[in-house]
Amino acid sequence: MRIYGVTGWKNSGKTGLVERLVREIVGRGWSVSTIKHAHHRFDIDQKGKDSWRHRHAGAREVMVASCHRWALIHELRDEDEPPLEALLARLAPVDLVLIEGYKRDRHPKIEAHRRETGQPLIARDDPTIRAVASDEPLAGLCVPVFDLDDTTAIAEFILSEVGLSSARGEEQTGAPPGMAVRKGGHG
């Protein structure tokens, strides 16, 4: 399964970028799934609903299904958080899995960066970051820099990196992009 990550500090634009990339890549005919890492507790069901009641009664897994979708809720209880590889193994096959977060894992990533966060670039010290998408010009990087809002160019880069063509049914074109600056002259 082809995987590619979008990482960055809190409020750097990761979720918005992933959302736009999914829309762009699916629009080109490729199937996409996502995995989002959360650093906090979260619930996908609501207090008092049947699935919530099953889970709180002690069920290890609760599956909710309808004619529109299904969801599996797995309670870890006293188990460790599963590694990314275990989560990927649970997904149905698709052309590309976009992973939001998981900055310490070793898959290839693009870093989302916003000046207003005041955070340093992860890309300077992490060889798994293959490009940066930023809202400000960045100099001295050894990876391509994209405008954070240039979803088309970022999608092209990721598709090239994972060996998929620009659109389903087209031939793959050439080698992965070089160190050229993308849209806006950021470099």
Dihedral over Cα of 45, 49, 55, 61: its sign? negative
Question: What's the distance, CA 125 to chain centroid?
Answer: 20
Instruction: Give 114's pLDDT tier (boundaries 50, 70, 90).
Output: very high
What percent of the chain clears pLDDT 70, i.e. is strictly above it? 89
Instruction: Give 87's pLDDT tier (boundaries 50, 70, 90).
Output: very high
Assigned fold of 3-39+81-161: Rossmann fold (3.40.50)
What residues does 36 pair with on adjacent strands?
100
- Residue 172 pLDDT > 70, yes or no? no
Domain boundaries, the chain: 3-39+81-161
- Please tell me which residue, 145 or 56, carries the higher pLDDT value: 145
* CA dist list (Å): 132 to 40, 99, 117, 139, 156: 26, 15, 15, 11, 14
* CA dist list (Å): 148 to 32, 119, 131, 169, 173: 20, 16, 11, 28, 24
Residue 171 has what pLDDT? 52
Query: What stretch of H or E contains 147?
Result: strand 145-147
pTM for the whole thing?
A: 0.84
